[in-house]
Structure 1
Amino acid sequence: MSMQTRIEEKLQQAFAPRWLSVENESYMHNVPPDAETHFKVTMVSEKFEGLMPVKRHQQIYCELADEMAGPVHALALHLYTPAQWEARGNTRPDSPDCRGGGGR
């Protein structure tokens, strides 16, 4: 099973999201071909109601502890309540260009 699929399944099970996108952005970084090290997660869930962003992030890191301890090097999180998602027009943010590990 790919790392992307594993992340998707864990988040689906734990958060029952209204909307979930897990994107493997490893190709945008200085990593070997077919790497699964850099991911962007955009998720909309009622479970984020009343939680500050740091608490939402902590919940994700807890759920993906094994992945973060192993092959996943970077995890960009964009976590919204349904109302927040609607207010931003149901659109996810774009990722910035990679600076190449050496700050270039």
Structure 2
Amino acid sequence: MVSGAQLAHLYVFDGTQGLLRPIEPIDHAFQRIRDGWEWFQVFLDTDTPPPLTDADTVMREDADWVAAAGAFAQAKQAADLADAAVTQAREALLALARHPKEQGAGVAV
């Protein structure tokens, strides 16, 4: 909440070094801070979480999600292996090429 103090000190310590910054009030921000606090206080008073925002992450462990995530992980692993195989096969073709443009057996490099 807004205290009305003329100066605050913000001190951050990482376990080794500290950083001290003086913070002066920003008068035009007082009402916005009060409004935000009053909005948030309702959630504290009613012991309910505030609505989710795009910055939040919903943690899912339900069976449908777990099954879909497992299928995705398997497909991604197969795709990564296929990408590696394609790269290796392309490199083999390029190693055989004797001209900037060659083709045969339905493949062009």
| Greater C-alpha radius of gyration | 2
Q: Greater RCO between the two (CA within 8 Å, min separation 6)?
A: 1
TM-score by length of 2: 0.19
Higher helix share: 2
Greater share of residues in strand: 1
